[in-house]
C-alpha cells in the first residue's frame, strides 16, 4: 500500500513557495547559448542529513546543501533560490508514486554559471 505524501507538500505547516531557474538553450560551435527562465513552485526545503551527503561526490560534500521535496519535476542542473542563495540540483529521486520528488541541491556560485566569463586577468 502506497501512502501519498502530496498533502504534506501542500500543507502550510511545512511548505513554502520558492523560485526555480531552468536553463534553456543549445550548444553551438561558439559554446553554450542559453538563458535561465524563472518560475515559482511550492515544496518543502530542509537541511541535509549525514546520509544525504553520502550521495554527493566527495568534492561537493563540504558545500552548503539543501533537500527539496516537491510535486514538480525538476531537472539536474536547475537552480533553486533559497534565502537569497542559488542552489544547483545535483540528485533526483522519483517518488512520484508517493506524490513527490526528492532532490539534493548544492550552493552555486556566480563564477560557475555556463555564461560566466570566469575571472578577469589583470
pLDDT in tens, 56-102: 877 777 788 999 999 999 999 999 999 999 999 999 999 988 889 99
- Closest C-alpha to 83, from 68, 72, 100, 71: 68
pTM, full prediction: 0.79
**pLDDT for 115:** 55
Distance CA 109, CA 106 (A): 10
**pLDDT for 1:** 46
pLDDT tens for 97-118 read 888 999 999 998 766 655 555 5
| Domains of the chain (ranges, CATH numbers) | 6-112 (2.40.10.270)
Distance CA 4, CA 9 (A): 10
pLDDT tens for 2-11 read 567 777 777 8
Amino acid at each position: 500500500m502506497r501512502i501519498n505524501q502530496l498533502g504534506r507538500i501542500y500543507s502550510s505547516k511545512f511548505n513554502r513557495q520558492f523560485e526555480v531557474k531552468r536553463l534553456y538553450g543549445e550548444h553551438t560551435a561558439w559554446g553554450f547559448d542559453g538563458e535561465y527562465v524563472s518560475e515559482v513552485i511550492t515544496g518543502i526545503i530542509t537541511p541535509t542529513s549525514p546520509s544525504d551527503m553520502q550521495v554527493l561526490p566527495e568534492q561537493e560534500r563540504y558545500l552548503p546543501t539543501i533537500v527539496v521535496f516537491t510535486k514538480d519535476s525538476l531537472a539536474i542542473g536547475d537552480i533553486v533560490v533559497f534565502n537569497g542563495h542559488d542552489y544547483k540540483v545535483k540528485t533526483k529521486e522519483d517518488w512520484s508514486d508517493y506524490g513527490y520528488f526528492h532532490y539534493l541541491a548544492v550552493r552555486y556560485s556566480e563564477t560557475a554559471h555556463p555564461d560566466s566569463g570566469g575571472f578577469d586577468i589583470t
